[in-house]
Structure 1
Amino acid sequence: MKLKTKIQLFSSLFMILLLLIINAAIYILFYKTSSDGELEELLDQTNIIATALNESDDVLTNDLLRAFLPSDGMIRIINDDSTFIHQLTRKKDYLNQEVIYTDSEIKNIYDLNGEKMAVVSKPIIWEDGQVVTLEVSKHLVILEKNMSILFYVLIIAAVFMLIPTMLASKMLSGFLLRPIHEFIKTMNENMTAKKWQRLRLKKRSKDEMYEMGKTFNHMITKLEENFHKQEAFVSDASHELKTPIAIIKSYAQLLKRRGLEHPDIFTESVDAIHSESDRMQKLVEQLLLLAKNEANVLQEKVNFNNICENIVHKISGVHSRELRLSMDKVNIVRGNKEQLQQIVYILIMNALKYSEREIDIRLYSQTDDVIFQVEDYGIGISKKDQDRIFDRFYRVDKARSRDSGGTGLGLAIAKEIAELHGGTLSVESEKDKGSIFTLKLPKYH
């Protein structure tokens, strides 16, 4: 069942149920009020007849009762043995009314042959001193007519209310489902035609549908960006892997043709194959590392001072270069310890790769942030390259990077780790004077 049909069916059924409850309540209330009024009126008439009987003699009793006889009713005086002393009516059907003697006042409405009869029974003292029952009954013709008119009026009113409700539910369902139909159409176009279509939003009504459409457009924008990044990533990775594969293949073919006869060619080929295989291994490891970083961000309390001290100590043990570390008080951040170690290692090794002098490493607090800086005094980075050095596979000096085993992924990995931790990674550099890489992370609170 379509959503439009569900909305129309639900609203129609709900309205029918509501009208039934309201109309039934109106009908019952009107009937109760009207019938109570009829009974009170008949009781007053009965009291008047009882008073008149007390003041009259037996000779005039029958004439008196006839004077008070309702046009659509009956008057009876009943003995305690349920026999009649007097019984007057203008309609013989009323004679079938059940005879009930009572010594207390009773007023009631019951059905007699499908007709509503109001009956009031009242004990009175008869002329011989015995207690008899004065019963006055009346056919509620006007009440039945009024109730019949009310019934048809309520049905007609319900129909007139139900038709606009059904039309309104149809219009409302169309209004609500129009954006959904546009969503479906746009999503189908995106899937089948491989387009990046967005919804046209009307700003005059910023309701939930507008917010959903806005979120959908934002999602499409993100998907498009990620798709293009993925395409570029695959393209760049393929390009990077193509070169070492081609080199390995060429040297393997050279070995096959001339390797056994020429030892120098054999040695050169093996060294080249080993070198390119090693570079391919590093590239694959870093690609896997990128995927791991994006999928796993374990948040924990991390002492950033300890990370810096340990990494500087390890790197100083294998490099003769001077690493000058300065830190203020203990700096605590929230994040993944292994990933934070990785970003510190990348920034320091990057500085060592592109400079020949000492490296200054600083760690300090600033308001709600922890600042980590690595400053080198090497070749520097030009203005046009500074905006791209964090892109995957981008290298400022491709020849030098290849010689030093670079893949162009280090700074891209560092940038992604920083952003995954809610921080930023930026660079300030001047050609031939050096560079300052600044990592800013939020403090642990």
Structure 2
Amino acid sequence: MFIDRARVFVSAGDGGDGMSSFRREKYVPNGGPSGGDGGKGADVILKADKNINTLVDFRYKRQFKAPAGENGQSGNKYGRGAEPMIIPVPLGTVVKEEATGKVFCDLTQDGQTFTIAKGGRGGRGNAHFHSSANRAPTFAEKGEPGEEHWLQLELKVLADVGLLGYPSVGKSSILRKVSAAQPEVAAYHFTTLTPVLGVVSLPGERSFVMADIPGLIEGASEGVGLGHNFLRHVERTNILIHVLDVSGMEGRDPKEDFDAINEELKKYSEKLSRKMQVVALNKIDLVQDEETIPNVRKYFEDKGYEVYCINALSGEGLPELMERAYYWVENYEPDPESTDDTVMYEAKPDVEFVITRGDDAAFYIKGDRIERLVAMTNLDDDQSLRRFQQIWRYMELDKKLREKGCKDGDEVVIGDQTFTFQD
């Protein structure tokens, strides 16, 4: 089963909690704090694997939760960090943040990895908070929560050559003839519903990968028919073989079909419209008169295209077409004018926090630093709570809440904790 889209949830492991303990040995009645740090939570890592060619596994498992780090122990023993969770994905997988559509990564090389969610750092044990003013700290930090994301995975097939054309023009027949791939061939439109890859082998141990991509119709750039499901896969190919039915047996005009498809490519992406195209006039055995093929061939040659007349069923003309396709694959040069319109995700340092008023009249404070502080503070411990209040005052949160209109008794929400403001 070929699946080229998936929606998944990834959650990195939380850091282990720091330990609050004291050295207790014979003849050492007042030993100092000895709580160890918690271990780091596991990262979630995506890894491109050439042995996978579909996202079908994500149809049955959509949530990935990495293990947490171990808690710290007494005697200044650190908790063990968790091993990263590695999730294999096919080559050509684009990973997007579901909420914003921003692209995290584009995995195109075998073995390429990307850390999609970082595990939380371990909380510090109470030994870290020993000072001349506080010789017996009873508090320790909780582990930092791991990052989590809802993701959209999109697979764009990786092929050197793409077969372009309307449904039923013979693309699948060509691929079956020149490779070991076995796409379905039938006398109805949209026989091929998903991309099919085949390796074309030529004399001299030469080869390239060719894709039979689902047929395109007018309006595909707006999602009509197979729409974007088709166009997304065309983006990966280096050159295109534009297959046309020159026989006109189904009442189609190859010139009009060619122009219509290229118009759809242009509407979808200027980059696509500039890809190298070779024209293949198929079903030459069904042409009824002697003038059609020369006229159609001249029409495309006058436009600057290379034209090959073929019969996908008998194989006539295919060796010459495949040799030329290999030549262009070997001499492929990226379009210097093409620009990558992908918006790559960039992590920005959190230097501020934002205070907003919710519909429930509560005040919400958002910011990585303050949310992390709340998550890692043990609010049930008096010393830990006093430390939190000191940091609160240092960040001047009281002042900034008053500026936003916060009054005595109002609720203040930070992360998953709710506080009552007291002026």
State which structure, 1 or 2, has the greater radius of gyration over its C-alpha atoms.
Answer: 1
Higher relative contact order (CA 8 A, sep 6+): 2
Query: Normalising by the residue count of structure 1, what TM-score does the alignment of the two structures yield?
Result: 0.18
Query: Normalising by the residue count of structure 2, what TM-score does the alignment of the two structures yield?
Result: 0.18
* Structure with a larger share of its residues in helix: 1
